[in-house]
């Protein structure tokens, strides 16, 4: 055994100058293969025409969109067909599915944890086995107790909420949203009933459920003796890379 180890050491010493370059070549080759595989996975595009719909000022617009995805099923491009569609932050609903695409940059807010993160445009939200998932670059993970905010006037909810405007109450089902217009009007869309409505605001406008209360007039999450002001400057937010348990 000692003789074998001695012979091995002598061999390594003699071939040292040759072994190091070979080792580096092997390591670099493996790194290039892994990088190429990851790059192709991210950039590979499969395009499919999908039926979608959005609500614009109370009018339901149904159309076909070409949606391009990479091998990880992340949306890379979204192109309406046959119609010119102004893609604002109004959510895009995939017809007959619990899937929503956010065409613009959004924030995701976890009110229980008092945290807010930035999401890329074309982030996809979907429901599977009664769990909600975020699907975007570098992340496909389930989450709960959260809502989405466009930094201006639109709020999107994954759970049922109640809109309380003065003496008026409106129940919204999961995957619904509201949008505060500039003339003291709230427009809302209820996913379960597929209905659109408007409410006039005279004083206050709150959104509440069993884990949060939001003042949509002031963009604040209200706690017992405190509040969290939502940001409209997404450049100060971190991009979400992992959802805390």
- Per DSSP, the three-state class of 126 is strand
- Per DSSP, the three-state class of 59 is strand
Full DSSP string of 222-241: E-SS-EEEPPS-GGGSPBP-
pLDDT by 10s per residue, the chain, length 245: 545 555 555 555 555 555 566 656 655 655 555 444 544 544 568 999 999 999 998 999 999 999 999 988 899 999 999 888 989 999 999 999 999 999 999 999 999 999 999 999 999 999 999 999 999 887 888 999 999 999 999 999 999 999 999 889 999 999 999 999 988 899 999 999 999 999 999 888 999 999 999 999 899 999 878 899 999 999 999 988 877 65
Cβ-based neighbours of 58, under 8 Å, separated by 6 or more: 187, 196, 198
- Per DSSP, the three-state class of 84 is coil
Cβ-based neighbours of 31, under 8 Å, separated by 6 or more: none
Handedness of CA 89, 93, 99, 101 (dihedral sign): negative
**Helices and strands (H and E) in the chain: how many:** 1, 21
Between CA 96 and CA 51 the distance in angstroms is 9
User: Closest Cα partner for 126 from 180, 50, 57, 181?
Assistant: 50
Q: What is the predicted pLDDT for the residue at 11?
A: 52
| CA within 13 Å, CB half, 239 | 10
What DSSP designation does 238 have? P
Q: Map out the domains of the chain as residue ranges.
A: 1-37, 104-245
Cβ-based neighbours of 218, under 8 Å, separated by 6 or more: 229
Place of tokens 């003065």: 166
Between CA 46 and CA 43 the distance in angstroms is 10
């Amino acid at each position: 055994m000692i003789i074998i180890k001695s012979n091995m050491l002598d061999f390594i010493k003699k071939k040292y100058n040759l072994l190091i370059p070979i080792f580096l070549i092997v390591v670099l080759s493996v790194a290039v293969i892994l990088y190429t595989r990851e790059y192709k996975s991210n950039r590979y595009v499969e395009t499919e025409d999908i039926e979608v719909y959005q609500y614009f000022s109370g009018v339901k617009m149904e159309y076909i969109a070409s949606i391009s995805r990479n091998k990880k099923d992340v949306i890379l491009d979204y192109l309406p067909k046959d119609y010119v569609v102004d893609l604002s932050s109004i959510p895009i609903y995939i017809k007959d599915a619990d899937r929503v695409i956010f065409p613009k940059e959004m924030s995701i807010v976890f009110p229980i944890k008092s945290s807010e993160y930035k999401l890329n445009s074309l982030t996809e939200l979907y429901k599977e086995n009664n769990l909600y998932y975020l699907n975007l670059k570098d992340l496909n993970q389930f989450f709960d107790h959260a809502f989405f905010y466009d930094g201006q006037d639109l709020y999107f909810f994954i759970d049922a909420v109640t809109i309380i405007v003065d003496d008026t109450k409106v129940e919204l089902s999961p995957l619904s949203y509201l949008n505060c217009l500039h003339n003291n009007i709230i427009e809302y869309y209820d996913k379960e009933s597929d209905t659109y409505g408007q409410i006039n605001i005279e004083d206050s406008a709150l959104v509440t459920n069993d884990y949060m209360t939001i003042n949509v007039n002031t963009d604040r999450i209200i706690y017992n003796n405190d509040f969290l002001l939502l940001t409209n400057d997404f450049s100060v937010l971190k991009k979400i890379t992992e959802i805390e348990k």
